[in-house]
Amino acid sequence: MPTHYRRDGDVALLEIDNPPVNALDLRVRAGLEAGLRRAADDPAVMAVVLCGARACFPAGADINEIASGAAFHSPILLELQAQMEALGKPIVAAIEGAALGGGFELALTCHGRIAAPEARVGLPEVKLGLIPGSGGTQRFTRLAGPAATLEALTSGAQLPAARALAIGLIDAIAPDTVRAAVQWARRLAGGEPLPALARAREDKLAVPEPDLFAAFRAAHARAFRGQLAPWRIVDAIEAACTRPALEGFQLERQWYLECRESPQCKALMHVFHAERAARRVPQAGPQVAPLPIERVGVVGAGTMGAGIAVCFANAGIDVTLLDVSREAVALGLERVGALYGESVERGKLSGEQAEAARARIRGAVEYSALGDVDMAVEAVFEDPALKCQVFERLDRSTPPRAILASNTSTLDIDRLAARTTRPQQVVGTHFFSPAHVMKLMENVRGRASSPQTLATVMALARRLGKIAVLAGNCDGFIGNRMLQYYGAEAERLLEEGATPEQIDGVVEAFGFAMGPLAMRDLAGNDVGWAIRRNRALPADERWSPILERMAAQGRLGRKSGRGFYLYEGRERRSDPQVLALICAVSRELGIERRELGEAEILARLLHPLINEGAKLLAEGIAARAGDIDVVYIHGYGFPAYKGGPMYWAEQEGLAKVIDTLEQLAPSHGARWGPCAHLRAAAARGGWECLTRR
């Protein structure tokens, strides 16, 4: 049975036991209903404690039930909550592990909550395009007040127990949590004043500043643009403060149902499943145990090396950060210090946490310092000859067991592996910039990479808090190979008549974090040009000269204060000289500039991604369409609520995607022709037929 009923004297313990995370599926809900009834009917039971088996309070509803509709089969959560509030006996939640989503909504319905010191609580529904639908927005606001609730629910954050206590969500923290909850429940039954149910509380509902909600909406307008759920969460919290209680609860439910039916919710559910599927590596089944990684070397203490060192140190791994000279190492360690300074300033780490992590990173100039590492990550300049030399030295200086990884964005992993005596332990670990912030880790499988090497880097990603995708080895892997034509198309659009503002505006309105030209400025136009210069192009292709000219004129992007835009701090402004440069290119190429509409701009940027994505699937570079979506969402700012480029294409209809490509091909070149794999997928109803297992 997924719920257990036990007695501890006059207290009934209702324990939820539904591995792995005690999700509240129909069987659990039925068990809870029966347990609550039994506790109500038994005159010897004076109070009830709700807890989870294996030190884990329910971490949410069953996601598959939300999608299938089974979450609506009686008893639904709302019915259980009504039963709890009408029990007539004190009921206390003992929270260990993570009480999230529906699980935390259940806890919020109790008279009180006691949490373990390391417990986390939260309502992360927004991440699935939902709002809490079982009174979560209303009860949370009544306990914590509107300001803290707005922050917590629109971000979906998991709050540590200490924070939950500070804002009033829980009543106490106790290491022996269940026992403490039983004792408190017993005292409550024995006459200690019973805390008011959250539903009945009004003392925290006063809005501290009259324009709290208007100001919050204005401050988050950009972050929430295009999305439904975060706005509805704000509406529901406002309703808790301004409407009669019953109406607030009803509105929340109505908005929950609205969100649940939205395409955004379906897209985010797809992303949720795709992220989990990406962990499964066909070449390394669950029987392959990852190697333990406790000490790593990072070679190259530049932008990426410093960020990668911070990722490892934050996960408790010792790092030796190596560069060519004492000065370069000192600079790298300075970068590390600055990253920790930022983390403390932003409240991501406490001063002590930052100090402890930073102390795990030491600098070195001699490769002999890497004599005891379990793994080395190379992050030197993107120069194939230099990387080959570094791999030869790593092979000589690290223990034979060590894995040798490259952070290259585009280069051939097999070429690096060939310089070593252990190609089976060579792999790509492509971090994104800034490495300590960006969630994606695109791991790259070389021809000889062993299942254990792959299992190790996939497990490592999880330990670093990253979302990993395994890509095959080709120029640019998944992400940068697709990006190549997307970036090139942005420049073609500029040549034909669009402006940087127009292009970035369209892409950002679609939901991308940043348009293609703003992204170029962030990465550096010199870097973009250098990468492009090294690449072979099909004979019928040409690169636009715009990027080269930008680099030649010192318009490097953010780092030089000017690129496609002028920068002052984080603000970007238009630069008329850029338009002049673009118009000059159009003239030289004999292109008559014209007005381009939003629809054309968007179509011409998104469709090359999809056509290339189909080729990646067919070549086995990406195992699943969902892997490509995960790469684009977490590495390139594609809006998660649109599900990623491949999901988006399926929603549009692959036949329509083919039509658009065919319409564009005659005037824009052969690369627009829909590839055979895209046609095959369209004929067979979706990407599934190209999936590798």
Instruction: Tell me which residues touch ligand NAD (CB under 6 A).
Output: 299-305, 322-324, 328, 379-382, 386, 390, 407-409, 431-433, 523
Torsion of CA 580, 585, 591, 597, to 10 degrees: -50
Known active-site residue 96: no
DSSP secondary structure string for all residues of 393-439: HHHHHS-TT-EEEE--SSS-HHHHHTTSS-GGGEEEEEE-SSTTT--
321's enclosing H/E stretch is strand 318-322
Q: With respect to ligand NAD, which residue has the nearer C-beta, 57 or 632?
A: 632
The Cα–Cα gap between 557 and 239 comes to: 45
Q: Quick one: tokens of 141?
A: 């606001």
Known active-site residue 125: yes
The Cα–Cα gap between 401 and 270 comes to: 38
Burial of 98 from C-beta contacts in 10 A (0-12 / 13-18 / 19+): buried
Provide the minimum distance between the beta carbon of 408 and ligand NAD in the complex, in angstroms, as a whole number: 5
Provide the minimum distance between the beta carbon of 331 and ligand NAD in the complex, in angstroms, as a whole number: 7
Amino acid at 692: R
Position of minimal CB gap to ligand NAD: 302
Residues 476 and 409: beta-carbon distance below 8 Å:
yes
Provide the minimum distance between the beta carbon of 108 and ligand NAD in the complex, in angstroms, as a whole number: 42
Q: With respect to ligand NAD, which residue has the nearer C-beta, 256 or 431?
A: 431
Q: Annotated catalytic residue: which of 105, 238, 378, 491?
A: 105
Q: E strands of 155-272, at which residues? A: 159-160, 172-173
Q: E strands of 463-506, at which residues? A: 467-472
Provide the minimum distance between the beta carbon of 152 and ligand NAD in the complex, in angstroms, as a whole number: 32
The Cα–Cα gap between 589 and 548 comes to: 15
Residue (of 572, 485, 477, 488) closest to 522 by Cα position: 572
Q: With respect to ligand NAD, which residue has the nearer C-beta, 18 or 407?
A: 407
Provide the minimum distance between the beta carbon of 531 and ligand NAD in the complex, in angstroms, as a whole number: 7
The Cα–Cα gap between 312 and 310 comes to: 5
40's enclosing H/E stretch is helix 26-41
The Cα–Cα gap between 248 and 145 comes to: 15
Q: Quick one: tokens of 588?
A: 């030289």
Provide the minimum distance between the beta carbon of 380 and ligand NAD in the complex, in angstroms, as a whole number: 4
Q: With respect to ligand NAD, which residue has the nearer C-beta, 260 or 481?
A: 481
Q: With respect to ligand NAD, which residue has the nearer C-beta, 299 or 483?
A: 299
Q: With respect to ligand NAD, which residue has the nearer C-beta, 264 or 409?
A: 409
Pairing of strands 11-16, 3-8: antiparallel
Provide the minimum distance between the beta carbon of 430 and ligand NAD in the complex, in angstroms, as a whole number: 6
Q: With respect to ligand NAD, which residue has the nearer C-beta, 533 or 656?
A: 533
Using the structure block, give the residue that is written with the tokens 């090139």. 488
Helices (H), 426-478: 451-463
Provide the minimum distance between the beta carbon of 258 and ligand NAD in the complex, in angstroms, as a whole number: 39
Q: Annotated catalytic residue: which of 125, 238, 442, 508?
A: 125
Pairing of strands 467-472, 440-445: parallel
Residues 120 and 212: beta-carbon distance below 8 Å:
no
Q: With respect to ligand NAD, which residue has the nearer C-beta, 141 or 407?
A: 407
181's enclosing H/E stretch is helix 177-189
Helix (H, G, I), strand (E, B) or coil at 5: strand
Catalytic residues: 105, 125
